Chains A and B, each alone.
Chain A
């Protein structure tokens, strides 16, 4: 997030898109709901599903799946045409405005309506509202990113925020809501193929030299590595011989699971380090038991870039160990000694090689976490990014045209499928499904469908149906719901039984490598 969670309550207008906030970030959603009910902020929701947040919204725009670039360009079209944009900000803080404008010019509300299905007037009203707000905050999540155009979608939201001068101010910003406790930290800590810690590129020789000195090694690789979604297919083709997987369950969370499973079985060697014998661990040659969060010390970085402490409360089961300890033991056995007294020692080392974490230490975050960047031990942290200038200097407008999703419905697969989570479960369910009460509330996979579509197919609420895509088929129970939109079904991806990802499309965004989980074509048929 460019801004903080608390800052949401400072916004005059909040635009939520591609985030089922009240189910996936319930506590954060209460900041939005309070801003609306108690502080008079106005909420715009742009989402195909009638999610709970729409009950708090002034405007709910319902786009067709995978048409985000079109409606965002459309809003910018209206804002520029009506001269509502922040010309001072655009002039002083950004570049490439004219190129973006040339593209936005084409996206008249009527043209956008023909692509997105959003009535022209609704788009105009929402655009005016966002543009006129003194402070407008954009919140988004996987509904924006999990598309073949995911990177374009995010850049388009940044365009919109810059156009209205909503960057670097309280109550503004472009705010991705991170879905996992430490997905921010995993990125910050160089858990990415193209960057070292603190987003230092692997082909930046100064950064490489610094790491080599700190680690007392030579020959660190400078060629960007493979993304998760590239490594799995390369296991099939034989380029990847071995995978070492720490705390992930790709055999439920990956797209096109049938293919992913084949890829994994082609590996020469698979090591899985986890707290449970997950679907992925079952395929491993060696399984290493690790501690869960309640058994370890360390830090997580939350969605607002706040580095916070994790503390040991109980002993681990059996001989389970800290994940860092296991990795260090493997490294040492391979001939490179890695040994640390405790997590704090590791933190001090990582801070010393990571400019954005340099000023953070355990004593400083004992009571309250700090927002990176925090470059010195005296620095108070940075709650709001891009205050005086952007990381690259001026903010860059991107001229982006809408492109259709990778897969379209046809006679064989006439409906669309979109996936997501429910309130009571988390990711692949390995943790939440151990709590009976949560299973009681959300016992199994389901397919959410409109009453009209269900009647058309002659199916009833609670029926078991078969859902098929070009890649596989699953069975799930029908849930007729007001949340659904005609022509589109929703299935949560938590459940290994009735796994939505047997259906999803592994087509990737060309930049981020994210799969298009949010759109694929399916056929729903009676009977299981």
Chain B
């Protein structure tokens, strides 16, 4: 019986679970098959063909992401034919867009001419905004290919920058469709789709209008899943490079869902937020507030010092002064009027530890149960 539930990938016998694709079986067996368009949890589209593998007995190479695994299948993931096919695909992708990373080519005159064209489109002389954080660039290195030798195709559609959060750079889009899967099958906002046909194909929103005039709710799921530099956070674009930041995992401070997020920190400042992939409860998803609403952290309106009101005006005070005044006054009121004349509003915004401390202080020190928070408001 067991025999019928096995397949062979690169000489390794691997068990098959019902409903799995070749890619699923390979990933479970720690065999790396490169992908670009594949998005976990969504319907495979097989659009990019990067994951093609050689299946014994099949007439053509098959996409691992959408081919069901079947018993006794024999698969090779890096055969000469597979590698040659991937290289060709990568060359075509690199040549048909503003992929101005160093992998583009080594020929000086070709590069210069190409870069000048990209600079004109970008309005910037910097390299690609996702240099160092790009799946296409990774694969170009892995398979040692460049876009050299192909005539670069000019950008067909201008960049969209008219919303506050996301830059849509069609010149770097490889039409893998991951953003569409993320929007329609993960967040189910149904804001974007493929538009036009053939070489004119474009990711469009609301009949090819800007995102701000569509059903887009700026959750940024599309940005997080974009494997290249086509969708980038506006604030971050060119300004923040991935190697300049450290990521700290924490829990979102907005609603009660408790999304797990990475705060990307540079020079003691949060510069970007992303969802933590494959972790509960949000599996990498965030909403517009969680992903883009972090400016308050470094706002110049933050309180920096204790303030004491004198004659109707606040003045800055030291902690020593402020704590003395608060402790002294609360003690007087408690001792004169009793603990029940004091109330504490603790907070649904602060940590469990801080709520515990507030609750202990109220009950053990003020000697009252007058403690509540805004659960009702």
Residues of A within 8 A of B (CB): 4-6, 22, 24-28, 30, 33-34, 37-38, 56, 145-146, 177-194, 196-197, 202, 211, 215, 217, 219-221, 223-229, 231, 234-235, 239-248, 250, 253-254, 268-269, 271, 274-277, 281, 284-290, 292-296, 298-304, 306-315, 317-324, 326-331, 333-336, 338, 343, 346-347, 349-350, 367-369, 423-426, 430-432, 434-438, 440-441, 512-515, 517
Contact = CB atoms under 8 A, between A and B. Distances in A.
A180 B377 CA distance: 10
A353 to B, nearest CB: 9
A234 B342 CA distance: 10
Contact of B258 (A179, A306, A438, A512): A306
Contact of A288 (B299, B326, B330): B326
Contacts of B292: 435, 437-438
A295 B327 CA distance: 25
B344 interface: yes
Contacts of B298: 314, 317
B159 to A, nearest CB: 17
Contact of B348 (A182, A225, A318, A513): A182
Query: Which secondary structure characterizes the binding site on chain B?
Result: mixed
A324 B353 CA distance: 7
Contacts of B268: 314-315
Contacts of B344: 243-246
Interface in B173-220: 185-188, 212, 217-219
Contact of B372 (A228, A298, A431): A228
A268 B333 contact: yes
Interface stretch (B31-39, B48-56, B306-314): B306-314
Q: Which of B342, B346, B350 has the most CB of A within 10 A?
A: B350
Contact of B352 (A221, A294, A300): A300
A307 B370 contact: no
A289 B306 contact: yes
A226 B371 CA distance: 7
B294 interface: yes
B303 interface: yes
B102 interface: no
B241 interface: no
Interface of B: 163-165, 185-188, 212, 217-219, 234, 248-260, 263, 265, 268-270, 279-282, 285-290, 292-299, 301-309, 314, 317, 319, 322-331, 333, 337, 339-361, 363-365, 367-377
Contacts of A22: 217
Contact of B365 (A334, A367, A424): A334
B297 A294 contact: yes
22 contacts: A4-B281, A26-B187, A27-B285, A34-B188, A178-B255, A219-B367, A221-B363, A221-B369, A225-B340, A231-B343, A246-B350, A248-B348, A276-B302, A292-B296, A293-B253, A309-B249, A327-B358, A333-B328, A424-B288, A437-B234, A438-B292, A512-B376
A329 B321 CA distance: 12
A284 B361 CA distance: 20
B348 A186 contact: yes
A189 B359 contact: yes
B368 A225 contact: yes
B376 A227 contact: yes
Given A431-B293, A431-B296, A293 B343 contact: no
B327 A6 contact: no
A330 B361 CA distance: 9
Nearest to A150: B376
Residue among B309, B333, B376 having the largest count of chain A Cβ atoms under 10 Å: B376
A6 B281 contact: yes
Contacts of A190: 355-356, 359, 363, 371
A28 B257 contact: yes
A335 B331 contact: yes
A196 B349 CA distance: 19
B263 A299 contact: no
A292 B373 CA distance: 18
A395 to B, nearest CB: 23
Q: Please indicate which of the listed interface residues A335, A367, A441 has the most CB atoms of chain B within 10 Å of its own CB.
A: A441
A302 B359 contact: no
Given A277-B303, A288-B322, A350-B353, A294 B250 contact: yes
B297 A244 contact: no
A401 B22 CA distance: 59
A86 B290 CA distance: 41
Given A231-B345, A309-B251, 19 more contacts: A27-B259, A190-B355, A191-B348, A242-B343, A243-B344, A244-B330, A285-B308, A290-B303, A293-B251, A302-B256, A303-B257, A310-B250, A313-B265, A320-B303, A324-B353, A343-B353, A426-B289, A434-B301, A437-B165
Contacts of A319: 304-306, 319
B373 A191 contact: yes
Given A181-B256, A287-B306, A247 B347 contact: yes
B320 to A, nearest CB: 10
B330 A330 contact: yes
Given A306-B258, A330-B323, A438-B288, A191 B372 contact: yes
Contacts of A441: 164, 212, 218, 288
A33 B351 contact: no
A50 B216 CA distance: 18
B280 A368 contact: yes
Contact of B374 (A217, A228, A231, A323): A228
A250 B377 contact: yes
A250 B372 contact: no
B348 A26 contact: no
Contacts of B303: 274-277, 281, 287, 289-290, 317-318, 320
- Lowest 9 CB-CB distances: which A-B pairs, in order? A318-B304, A302-B258, A178-B256, A437-B164, A298-B351, A225-B369, A247-B347, A333-B327, A33-B188
B377 A317 contact: no
A194 B308 contact: no
Contact of A299 (B302, B317, B351): B351
Given A27-B259, A276-B303, A347 B352 contact: yes
B304 A25 contact: no
Given A276-B302, A350-B352, A181 B255 contact: yes
B293 A438 contact: yes
A225 B281 contact: no
A183 B257 CA distance: 11
B321 to A, nearest CB: 9
Given A242-B341, A289-B303, A438-B288, A298 B353 contact: yes
A432 B289 contact: yes
A234 to B, nearest CB: 8
A328 B353 CA distance: 12
B354 A246 contact: yes
Contacts of B287: 26-27, 423
Interface core residue of A247, A289, A309 (most chain B CB under 10 Å): A247
B372 A192 contact: yes
A324 B357 CA distance: 6
Nearest to B187: A30
Nearest to B212: A441
A151 B163 CA distance: 42
A378 to B, nearest CB: 21
A424 B163 CA distance: 14
